[in-house]
Chains A and B, each alone.
Chain A
């Protein structure tokens, strides 16, 4: 048991950068993203008995992050009324480099997507998951992943396209 826990902990440390990246695609700032990852790690460790060692730990964690995020966003509307969002401008200050501007525009475009489309984009385009793997994490049929991804791409293309590699 102790060994199993240690093995999971080692793996978790290894995938933490990817968990942070996934969370970053869902939240609007790095601080919230890390809160989300931390919450997910705590949840995961408290219910390790639900993880099947023959399955992918990263997929399981993505699923936990997703559910934690859904819990969070349910309360989001009220929170936004209550507190001014001081974090909104956090990325703007240092927008010097071309790459950084590019990143901000992608983040802004992603933020326009409905939640369920954003998760598909995060898993398939950012994380490199196959449609089937993404479908398993999101607990939807593969056809749903495909159609959500197609719609998301259309929106992103409209928001980001043209700058490079787009059609005339």
Chain B
């Protein structure tokens, strides 16, 4: 009697009822090759499950325990603030088309309840020449950050520069945006977009224990906190600017 492989598989997985089980076992008695096939299914199962067994012994990261407790700062791997307008949570495949309808992954909207001060408290707002200030209720780049966003080219920047520029791109609303990292007490990363006369800081995140990123164009993107990466991904209209396009955009005043 021939037994389809799906049934042998279900037998190996303990899925058959008593009647079917007896059927399969009778067939196995009559045909040793069936026993080998069942054994193969069991071996694969044990191989796959033992490959992941060690995950159960790993210590659970504190941030997950915090998430369960509903701790307010539990925003993925970094503390995130979506700044400026109230973030709009909606599905990613229904992106807004106007600048005013920047849409954010839902978790980013959750994270937005974190106070700005928690994230940017260490020097960025309080030093003699803060890099980020407020202008009619929005966060804008100032001083060294404003300078870097306006003048610094990712392809040519010095690795020791205090502000590192990552990816430059045109957003769905048409404006040009750039990702950046500021090295201070922590490394702060974010996305700033050019508005009429200033850079509006739209996302700001601190990577916990982040390494400072060297100024390589690619690495600057890959080293971004997840929040920044997600924001770029959600907002980018097309492809990031390459070195030539970045230079052209700079010459054109980021319009």
Beta-carbon contact of B55 and A166 below 8 Å = no
B232: chain A residues at CB < 8 Å are 82
Chain A nearest CB, measured from B154 CB (Å): 14
**A85 to B224 Cα, complex, angstroms:** 12
A34: chain B residues at CB < 8 Å are 61, 63-64, 77
- Tell me the count of chain B residues lying within 8 A, CB to CB, of chain A: 59
The answer, yes or no, to whether B21 is at the interface (CB within 8 Å) is no
The answer, yes or no, to whether A64 is at the interface (CB within 8 Å) is no
Contacts A83-B221, A165-B43, A167-B37 given: A20-B55 contact, CB under 8 Å?
yes
**A79 to B92 Cα, complex, angstroms:** 13
Beta-carbon contact of A82 and B167 below 8 Å = yes
B196: chain A residues at CB < 8 Å are none
Interface string of A123-138 (1 = CB under 8 A from B): 0111010110000000
Beta-carbon contact of A21 and B9 below 8 Å = no
Query: Which label, helix, strand, loop or mixed, suits the secondary structure of the A interface?
Result: helix
Count class of interface residues, chain A:
35 or more
**A160 to B49 Cα, complex, angstroms:** 13
The answer, yes or no, to whether A161 is at the interface (CB within 8 Å) is yes
- Which B211-255 residues sit within 8 Å CB-CB of chain A? 218-219, 221-224, 226, 229, 232-234, 236, 239-240
The answer, yes or no, to whether B5 is at the interface (CB within 8 Å) is yes
B234: chain A residues at CB < 8 Å are 75
Interface string of B40-60 (1 = CB under 8 A from A): 111111011111101111101
Beta-carbon contact of B93 and A74 below 8 Å = yes
Chain B nearest CB, measured from A123 CB (Å): 11
The answer, yes or no, to whether A18 is at the interface (CB within 8 Å) is yes
Beta-carbon contact of B10 and A13 below 8 Å = no
Beta-carbon contact of B92 and A71 below 8 Å = yes
Beta-carbon contact of A42 and B221 below 8 Å = no
B7 nearest CB neighbor, chain A only: A146
- Which B1-44 residues sit within 8 Å CB-CB of chain A? 5-6, 9-10, 13, 15, 36-37, 39-44
**A43 to B107 Cα, complex, angstroms:** 8
- Which A110-166 residues sit within 8 Å CB-CB of chain B? 110, 121, 124-126, 128, 130-131, 146-147, 149-150, 153, 156-157, 160-161, 164-166
Query: Which label, helix, strand, loop or mixed, suits the secondary structure of the B interface?
Result: helix
The number of A-B residue pairs with CB atoms under 8 Å apart is: 146
Chain A nearest CB, measured from B243 CB (Å): 16
**A101 to B53 Cα, complex, angstroms:** 14
Beta-carbon contact of A126 and B240 below 8 Å = no
**A146 to B41 Cα, complex, angstroms:** 13
**Closest 3 A/B residue pairs (Cβ):** A165-B43, A106-B51, A21-B55
A-B contact pairs, 27 of them (CB 8 A): A9-B69, A13-B68, A17-B57, A20-B55, A20-B58, A21-B56, A24-B55, A25-B52, A34-B77, A35-B77, A37-B64, A38-B64, A71-B92, A75-B92, A78-B233, A82-B221, A82-B240, A84-B219, A84-B221, A86-B223, A121-B48, A125-B48, A150-B5, A150-B6, A156-B48, A165-B43, A167-B36
Taking A20-B55, A106-B52, A146-B6 as given, write out 14 further A-B residue pairs in contact, using a Cβ cutoff of 8 Å, ordered by the A residue number.
Answer: A12-B68, A13-B60, A13-B68, A20-B60, A45-B70, A82-B236, A83-B222, A83-B229, A103-B51, A110-B48, A131-B15, A150-B6, A165-B42, A166-B40
Which residues of A pack against B, CB within 8 Å? Answer: 9, 12-13, 16-18, 20-21, 24-25, 31, 34-35, 37-39, 41-43, 45-46, 71, 74-75, 78-79, 81-86, 102-103, 106-107, 110, 121, 124-126, 128, 130-131, 146-147, 149-150, 153, 156-157, 160-161, 164-167
